Structure formats: C-alpha cells, structure tokens
Amino acid sequence: MAGIKRSTLPVLRFGRGTTEPSVAISENGQVRFNNAASAFAGDLTKIVIADFDAKTRAMKLLAVAAPPKGWSEDDCFELRQSQSKDGKVKGGKYISAASVWRLDEVGYDFKASGNQTFVPTIDATKHVLSFVVPKGALQAKPKQTRVKKEKAPVAKAAAASAGASDDIVIE
C-alpha cells in the first residue's frame, strides 16, 4: 500500500465548525462567508469591491473600517452577521450584492445558478478575500426539501378522563 496522505483527504466538518473557508453566492444574490472565510474581515463591517478582472473573472473584496479615499459610505457594502429566525446569531456573515451580479462586465446569473459555493483566496493581514466569479449561469444544484415532522398526538390519561383516581394502571 502506498499510504494515504492527510492532504489528499476531503475537507471535514467538525460539529458546526468548518476547516476550510468558502464563499457562496445565494439564489437571492447575497454573498455568504462561512466562519473561516469571514475571519478575513476581523472586526471590520464595511466591504469594498476593490477590483474585478473581466479576463480572469477574479473579484477582490476588501474589508475596511472607513471608506477608502474617493469613496463614500454609500459605496461600501455592509458586512452583516447571519441570524436565525428567532434573532440568535449563527455562523458566518454576508453582504447583499444582487445588483453587482447584474452588471454587464460581471454578468453572473445568480437566480438561474441557485446557491453556489466557491473557494476563496484570503490575505487576513490585508483584510482581502478574492474568488473567481463564473460568467453566465451555472447548473443549479438540486434543492433539498425537508419533510415537516408531524406533531405527535397528545394522549390523555385514561384515569383523568374517567375521573376515578389519580393512579395510572398499566395492563
């Protein structure tokens, strides 16, 4: 046997944590960063699309504390923390960027592509994250529909309905 190298194994998830950063463009145009990828921003909450190379399709995102020179607050995207329906903080962060994908030079059809995940390149010291944006639409991944659990019927104690005693009789 030639051996199995750890570096050739698939990336594993441990509990709710991840071992590798990933960026996802959702079917509603949001850019979602998992916990490992959102670390590039540190405590910064503004994101600037610093560069988009139409030839290589590489998009470079820069996390900043204040808008760069020549930019205003309106030019920055707000990096938001993901929350569950009950308002609890959950892993990862996101920016709303649906209008970016519609630009002619970017031209990514996020609606037809569905949720897609990409591997980013991160420079945490400079707060830069970059990834390659495909042209047009990708083959949408099949949606996983969850079956709703039926509520279990509530059983009433026979003794309570009879009103005879508080003892439960097991036959």
Q: Give the span between the Cα atoms of 30 and 27, in whole angstroms.
A: 8
Query: Residue 162: pLDDT band by 50, 70, 90 thresholds?
Result: low
Kindly report the pTM of this predicted structure.
0.70
Q: With respect to residue 145, please indicate whether it lies within any of the assigned structural domains.
A: no
Is 164 inside a domain boundary? no
Q: Is residue 65 part of a domain?
A: yes
Rounded to 5°, the CA angle 57-62-64 comes to 165
The count of residues in the chain is 171
- Full residue range of the structural domain in which residue 30 is found: 19-139
For the chain, how big is the Rg over CA atoms in Å? Answer: 24
Domain membership of residue 3 (yes or no) is: no
pLDDT at 15: 55
Predicted pLDDT at 150: 83
Please state the rounded mean pLDDT for residues 143-150: 80
**How far apart are the C-alpha atoms of 162 and 164, rounded to whole Å?**
5
The answer to whether position 157 is within a domain reads no
What is residue 30's three-state secondary structure? Answer: strand
First-to-last CA distance in the chain? Answer: 61
pLDDT at 32 exceeding the cut of 90: yes
Decide if 146 is inside a domain: no
pLDDT at 159: 46
Residue 4 predicted with pLDDT over 60: yes
pLDDT tens figures, 43-66? 999 999 999 998 999 999 999 999
What mean pLDDT is reported for the chain? 82
8 A C-beta contact, residue 37 and residue 95: no
Residue 10 inside a domain? The answer is: no
Residue 8 inside a domain? The answer is: no
Residue 109 pLDDT greater than 70, yes or no: yes
Domain count for the chain, please give it. 1
Task: For 79-95, write each residue's pLDDT tens digit.
Answer: 998 877 777 777 789 99
